A and B are shown apart, each in its own frame.
Chain A
Amino acid sequence: MESVIERIQKGNFWQFHGGIHPPEQKFLTCTKPIASAQIPEQLIIPIRQHIGQAGDLIVSVGDKVLKGQILSVGDNPMSLPIHAPTSGTVTAIKLMAIPHPSGLRETCLILTPDGEDTWQQRHICPDFQLLSKGKILEKIVNAGIAGMGGAGFPTQVKVSTLAKIEYLIINAAECEPYITADDLLIQEHSPTILDGIKILDHLLAPQNILIGIEDNKAKAIETLQKATADIDHIQVCVIPTKYPSGGEKQLIKILTGQEVPSGVLPSSLGMVMQNVATCFAIADAVINDTPLIKRVVTVSGQALDKPQNVWALIGTPVGYLTEQCGYSNSHDKHLIMGGPMMGFSLANDQIPVIKTTNCILAPSEIEIASPFSSTSSKEVECIRCGQCADVCPAQLLPQELQWSAKAKDQPQLEKLNLFDCIECGACAYVCPSQIPLVHYYRVAKAEIRQQKLLDIKAEKAKVRFEARKLRLEREKIAREEKHKKAAEARKARMNAGTPAAKSEKSAVAAALARVKAKKAQAGSNQDIVSQADSSVEQIDDNKSQVANAIARAKAKKLAQKSQTPISTADAEQDTDNAAIAPKAQPVVTDKKAKVAAAIAKAKKRQATEQASNSDTQVLSTEETTPVSATSGAVQEPITDEKSQLPINKKAKVAAAIAKAKARAKAKKETDGNINAQPSSTSTDKPTVVPAQEQYTLAAVASNKATVTLHTETPVAISPVNKTATASDERKKKVAAAIAKAKAKKLVEKTQQASPSTSEVKISESDSKPTTEAAIAANKKARVAAAIAKAKAKKLAASSDKSQPSE
């Protein structure tokens, strides 16, 4: 098989798939010499003019700069510096529209030339062979050279490749219609271009250098052939004119028959491609120490009087160039930067020429129909003629891509290799349905990129969220651990028996009591809710509940306070209310049971007051179980059958009155008891008695309330007035509760004395007799508390309690 070079020497080239032959229109400019650069009034220099990052500006507004002076630096390999194209003053640094299809605004440096065009100090280097490779690369970087064919890839990245290079391909194909910038550059500056090629040769040491040029540039071909005649390993490859042979991948295919694998740079195949204009810039930079500050721009189109190539300073506004070339079309302007196939429309004529700008096209209406004219935008349905697939240089299926793009079927688009589309525009050019295919692909590509960004974001968010969840979980465990430890420590401390431990215990007990009270309230709350319908009532009811709860809680506190000395076991039992049954302790924890027990106690007390009232503890322990059983039994029928209610009520009232009487007597007895106890002091006596009297009064008051309640209950049962009476009922209850609470407070006050004394005593000595005494005192307090609680309960829950007493 013949080698690539043999084939090329014979003029046999490979072919890339597809391609088109749009009208070339190069005759407009290809015969005229390149006009010299004029200095416009103002230069707009975007700080980023290539693919990659912008450098950091090192000048500020008001600075005077010399021609060729560096304006920005960057340390990133993908960042390139910019230079002052002429001497002048930096008048502004601001966001301006940049030459990009999007028309976005980016930071630009505005330079007002002084007209002197004074160069900075330059170091001419006539023989680059004397320079080291590193030095040459440095010069290329400092000159800010990017690929000048269109994409603007930083040149030093390409030429500093470590891969072994077989072919250095110089791209002079210039396949886009109208553009003749490279053609003219070759014609006029072939020695400099050759110097640039030699520098690249020196840097990359390729086996062969191929200059690809389309056969429609006779003069340039001749010039190149003459210039390279005496260099063996440079081949001028005259390839057939076909768009887009100037595409990197397409030119590689034409010249070497190889395809660049998707997603890989040509250097992996041992190839590097450079544009001729880039070669010129490299030579200029290395030899003449001239940074990239000007370039050849084809200003063409039939709307111009004098279409021509011009040396334009980087930053020259497009309008300045078209004006110089005689742009007369005053309205409905249509300016394209780049060629007609891949260029983009400009939003205004103040957009500057940048390093990659090779053409400004000002077409007439006949050449390129504007989007506003009647002959344009005649997009009709695709008829699947397949002409687009025939011309696609990437061998894609444009019509299928189009269907998928319209349907936003992103997986299918990627399956059809949308991202291998080079946007050459051949498909849209031939489409008989005049579908702007490339536009659909651009939109689809942008959407897919956007979607990918979102996916990445979502993925990150997910990771973050999961990390957070883990952290919270960890923290929770740590917290629980800490709490457990703290609880254990506390328990240990409490069991230690120090005074501090005791006070802590009582605090814990109080807290538990509060919790219990709340629970009980919740229980009774449910009862009431089941009877009452409206929320208003519920609020009222809640109020009464609250009052009740407060009363109860206070009672509890009292009880607990006096209980504390007995044992910690007691307190613990209170904590697990539900699990009380298995415990052997006769302490009543169930509220209702307690209440019932209290009532029963009261009754019992009444009955046995003459006989034995000294040992209350025995009484309570004896009665606890049966009473709680009955109270449970009583509750059921009441909730089920409302007809029983009046009976209940009556019974209750009767019971209450009886109880009140009994209590009054019982209290007297208790007073006596208290006096009898060794622990209680005689000073207690005067205060206690009035307190008890007060309590009795309160009880009577509450009884009254219950009586009134009773008189109204029959009405309450009738379905018509239910709600109204129910709320009345609540009010009554609230009143009763308040009364009770007050009474309880008093009781509390009087009771405070005995527990405190008992406590003091316990702290003095832990001997048994004292403890027993304390228990006795405590019992009394509990009884009082239980009574108070019973009252509260009675009113809170509109049923129960009376039955067992009868």
Chain B
Amino acid sequence: MAFWIASSPHNHQQSETSALMRMVIYATIPGIFAQWYFFGWGNLIHIALAVATAFVAEFTVLSLRKKKITTQLFDGSAILTAVLLGISLPALAPWWITIIGSLFAIVVVKQLYGGLGHNPFNPAMAAYVMLLISFPVQMTLWQPPLSLLAMDIQLADTLSVIFTGYTPQGYSVEQIRTHIDGFTMATPLDTVKTNLTQGFTVLESMKAPTIGKYFGLGWEWINAGFLLGGLFLLSKKSIHWTTPVSFLSSLFICSFIAFIISPDSSASTMFHWFTGATMLGAFFILTDPVSGATSVKGRLIFGALAGLLVYLIRKFGGYPDAIAFAVLLCNMAAPLIDQYTRPRTYGHKLGAKK
């Protein structure tokens, strides 16, 4: 007869890291669905590729590091990283982009830093930035929404483009991206940015076909999808409200100020919210606990900093979107933010409170 000796507390709410990861992955479904609806199979193929690569990479590194493969391989973190990377890539990017990105995210950014919980940078975003800098051409092959395309692209066509660079009919990515009227279509953010350099006002840019009715054909719905997923996570308390709220408000305030000062050269607040990767970043990237700040105050600062950086890069930087850069910069700042935002312990510095 043996008696168990265990340390208190003896009960536990039975939450698990893997469950948390799964929850986040489920929450991406509305956004991914919108992506599929407006842009076709491209991202789904990339997600599948990225997940497969991440699995292999994670398994290999865990074996090399002699870790418990069964528990760590299925903790969902690698899958989540891969899913987020797959979502962020251009739909018609070549297959090796995904493979390289996924490998880099898992092997270098995550495992070489010590695995789950030890990586200073968000693996998906670090991989994205690496790809963007290393393969700028492939990484800017943004596909316009299906409704704007001159030709129909089915699953087979997408697969063919991703793996060979051409559709079975022999069209290249460039040709696919070309509008019937003969100009290359870009993302809404890109369109606005390019038009501004060419002297058009934002209002005029809004008439571009890629923008569509509201803030970007397809993009607004993708962002809405991620917002929905984010709200689901908030309701499940899987993520903390502070970071998304502070990020979105910061972005809102920045764009609002700019819009007030110069409405012709500045996009609206809602345009910033519902184009690009704003919602994905707010609810799925910045909320990554490992590479973010931990205290409530710290998260508020973290989110606000990210919002500011996103706005500054979108407005003044060389790239149309900025979530990945902003996230990496904030990751770097996180330990410092944590250092200076420690909460006051109960019964300490009572004078300072009053």
By a beta-carbon cutoff of 8 Å, the part of chain A in contact with chain B is: 16-17, 20, 22-23, 101, 103, 177, 249, 253, 259-264, 330-336, 338, 340-349, 361, 363, 367-372, 378, 380-386, 389-390, 393-397, 399-400, 416-417, 420, 423, 425-426, 428-434, 436, 438-439, 442
Contact = CB atoms under 8 A, between A and B. Distances in A.
A347 B295 contact: no
B6 A371 contact: yes
B346 A249 contact: yes
B261 interface: no
B3 A345 contact: yes
B11 A381 contact: no
B167 interface: no
B1 A380 contact: no
Contact of B116 (A260, A347, A380): A380
Given A22-B11, A382-B117, A345 B4 contact: yes
Interface in B1-60: 1-13, 15-17, 19-20
Contacts of A430: 13, 15
A332 B5 CA distance: 11
A17 B294 contact: no
Contact of A370 (B6, B299, B347): B6
Nearest to B19: A432
Contacts of A20: 13
A334 B3 contact: yes
Nearest to A346: B3
A799 to B, nearest CB: 74
Nearest to B16: A432
A16 B117 CA distance: 29
B17 A433 contact: yes
A397 B343 contact: yes
Given A383-B116, A384-B292, A384-B294, A420 B346 contact: yes
B9 A425 contact: yes
Given A20-B13, A261-B348, A397-B294, 15 more contacts: A16-B346, A22-B11, A23-B11, A177-B11, A341-B11, A344-B7, A346-B3, A371-B5, A385-B20, A386-B289, A386-B294, A389-B343, A395-B344, A397-B342, A417-B345
B320 interface: no
A425 B11 CA distance: 9
A333 B8 contact: no
Given A395-B345, A395-B346, A429-B9, A348 B3 contact: yes
24 contacts: A331-B1, A332-B2, A333-B4, A334-B3, A341-B9, A341-B10, A341-B11, A345-B7, A347-B3, A380-B116, A381-B116, A383-B290, A384-B117, A386-B299, A394-B345, A400-B294, A400-B338, A420-B345, A420-B346, A428-B12, A429-B12, A433-B117, A434-B12, A439-B7
B20 A340 contact: no
A382 B15 CA distance: 13
Interface string B44-85: 000000000000000000000000000110010100000000
A678 B254 CA distance: 129
A381 B20 CA distance: 14
B62 to A, nearest CB: 12
Given A394-B346, A417-B345, A430-B15, A103 B5 contact: yes
A425 to B, nearest CB: 3
A-B pairs with the 3 shortest C-beta distances? A425-B9, A381-B117, A439-B7
A367 B294 CA distance: 31
Contacts of A333: 1-4
Contacts of A438: 7-9
B13 A340 contact: no
Given A334-B3, A389-B343, A428-B12, A380 B350 contact: no
B118 interface: yes
A334 B346 contact: no
Contacts of B179: none
Q: Taking each of A330, A335, A395, which has the highest tally of chain B beta carbons within 10 Å of its own beta carbon?
A: A395
Contacts of A390: 240, 296
A778 B77 CA distance: 107
A447 to B, nearest CB: 15
Contact of B240 (A23, A344, A386): A386
Q: Taking each of B2, B295, B347, which has the highest tally of chain A beta carbons within 10 Å of its own beta carbon?
A: B347
B11 A334 contact: no
Given A371-B4, A384-B294, A393-B346, A429 B117 contact: no
Contact of B295 (A259, A389, A416): A389
B216 interface: no
B303 interface: no
A263 B9 CA distance: 24
Nearest to B348: A262
Interface in B317-354: 338, 342-348, 350
Contact of B346 (A17, A349, A372): A17
B10 A399 contact: no
Interface residues on B, range: 35 or more
A798 to B, nearest CB: 72
Given A378-B71, A381-B115, A386-B289, A436 B345 contact: no
Given A345-B6, A380-B75, A340 B11 contact: yes
A262 B117 contact: no
A381 B345 CA distance: 25
Interface string B239-270: 01000000000000000000000000000000
Given A16-B346, A384-B292, A420-B348, A334 B4 contact: yes
Contacts of A399: 294
A361 B3 CA distance: 13
Contact of B8 (A103, A344, A381): A344
Nearest to A440: B7
Contact of A332 (B4, B13, B289, B343): B4
A347 B6 CA distance: 10
A245 B12 CA distance: 18
A380 B17 CA distance: 8
A333 B1 CA distance: 7
Interface string B256-292: 0000000000000000000000000000000001101
A24 to B, nearest CB: 11
Contacts of B71: 378, 380
Q: Taking each of B6, B8, B345, which has the highest tally of chain A beta carbons within 10 Å of its own beta carbon?
A: B8
A367 B11 contact: yes
B246 to A, nearest CB: 14
A17 B3 CA distance: 36
A310 B6 CA distance: 25
B69 to A, nearest CB: 13
A781 B63 CA distance: 97
Given A334-B3, A383-B117, A259 B347 contact: yes
A22 B13 contact: yes
Nearest to A399: B294
Q: Taking each of B5, B12, B71, B350, which has the highest tally of chain A beta carbons within 10 Å of its own beta carbon?
A: B12
B15 A432 contact: yes
Contact of B10 (A249, A368, A389): A368
A345 B344 CA distance: 33
Contacts of B299: 386
Contacts of B75: 380
A432 B10 contact: no
Contact of A368 (B11, B117, B347): B11
Contacts of B348: 261-262, 417, 420
Nearest to B4: A334
B319 to A, nearest CB: 29
Interface string B294-328: 11100100000000000000000000000000000
B237 to A, nearest CB: 8
A420 B347 contact: yes
A385 B233 CA distance: 14
